[in-house]
């Protein structure tokens, strides 16, 4: 495993150290866990159904009858 040095603001460092001590973990454990959660959230696969309801009409609900019955 390669190391990546990071510089943290003092308050953040102190908070991490306190949490690590409270959870009987190392600061490294907490940072790795936080980064894994962050990366997972960014890479989540979105359902294919997202965007299916997109429409070029912003007033679709008001014009539903007109649009439904017009010829394609």
In this prediction, residue 36 carries a pLDDT of 95
Q: What is residue 45's predicted lDDT score, i.e. its pLDDT?
A: 75
Residue 1 has pLDDT above 80, yes or no: no
Query: SS3 for 50?
Result: coil
Residue 57 CB-density burial (10 A; 0-12 exposed, 13-18 middle, 19+ buried):
exposed
Residue 65 has what pLDDT?
Answer: 82
What is the per-residue pLDDT for 27?
95
pLDDT, tens digit (0-9, with 9 covering 90-100), for 23-50: 999 999 999 999 999 999 888 877 777 7
Can you tell me the distance from the alpha carbon of 69 to that of 67, in angstroms, rounded to the nearest whole number?
Answer: 6
Cα distances (Å, whole numbers) of residue 57 to 1, 6, 38, 53, 72: 52, 48, 35, 11, 15
């Amino acid at each position: 495993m390669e190391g990546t040095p990071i510089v943290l603001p003092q308050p953040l460092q102190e908070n991490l150290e306190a949490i690590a001590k409270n959870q009987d973990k190392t600061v490294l454990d907490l940072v790795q866990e936080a980064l894994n959660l962050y990366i997972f959230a960014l890479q989540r696969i979105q359902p294919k159904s997202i965007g299916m309801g997109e429409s070029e009409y912003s007033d679709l609900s008001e014009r539903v009858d007109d649009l439904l019955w017009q010829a394609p």
